[in-house]
Amino acid sequence: MSVAELPTIGPRDDRLADVGRLVVRCPDRPGIVAAVSGLMAAVGANITDSQQHSSDPSGGTFFLRLEFFLADLAGRWAELEQRLAALAGEFGMTWRLTEAAHRPRLAVFVSRTDHVLQELIYRVRSGDLRAELAAVVSNHPDLEPVARAAGIPFHHVAVTADTKAEAEAAALALIGDVDLVVLARYMQIVSADFCARFPERLINIHHSFLPAFVGANPYQAAHDRGVKLIGATAHYVTPELDAGPIIEQEVARIDHRATVEDMRRIGRYVERQVLAQAVTWHVEDRVIVDGAKTIVFA
């Protein structure tokens, strides 16, 4: 079956109707779980999954992720938000409430390699990644056939050192109001202004096990160093190159016989798995940024 023949998935999934997600962050203290659970019980919600973490039970930060079922969730939304706002004031919470049925809109930025884009397309079409691929943007035209075959709008925005700012502005205008931007082996460094446009909503795949081998040509650098493990890292993008909060990492073992091309070939499989997993966790509200790190409720 070709990509074009796979079933189209719309912006919502009715199988998850009336399922909500709540993500909470606040100073740790006794009674947080009881208060949130009590609120859910008071509105008639059934908690179906709960994960929590404290950075330090004495003066640390508390993190919580809930999934719950509430009949007529859309109709009860305003009431739920009002109750959560009151509870947040009492506990000093920041919180995020989402509908599990909603499919976030993703813009994928690529250059010439297609393996990570192909993985995202497959996972969306198979239902493993509950998202909508709204656009593919590239500084080269090479991957237009891949995007078109999948029914995704493709935008070629050439980038030079002299036109970088204009190119970013054009790309932003083309992708519109997306929920997440994914740099899927996009071989350009995005500006601080671009990062600020998508705080904690801009994910990159770097083809090394960070913090090792930052920047360009990490496989060559790894080969020169004689490493025995190569890896990939998916992270949120910040103005500092390859230094944003890490979401997911994986490695593959190699030995002294591996050439740089061997590393690239093996690494492609690692990269596609790592980025797809990170994007899935983000879309499912499983990632909370905590300074330079992340809490991942996998």
From its phi and psi, is residue 203 left (phi > 0), alpha (psi between -120 and 50) or beta?
beta
* Sign of the CA dihedral with 5 first, then 107, 134, and 152 last: negative
CB contact at 8 A, 70 and 44: yes
The C-alpha angle 147, 153, 154, rounded to 5 degrees, equals: 65
CB contact at 8 A, 95 and 22: yes
Enumerate the active-site residues.
Answer: 242
CB contact at 8 A, 214 and 250: no
CB-count burial class (<10 Å; 0-12, 13-18, 19+) for 277: buried
DSSP structure class, residue 70 = -
Six-digit token string for 277: 């997993």
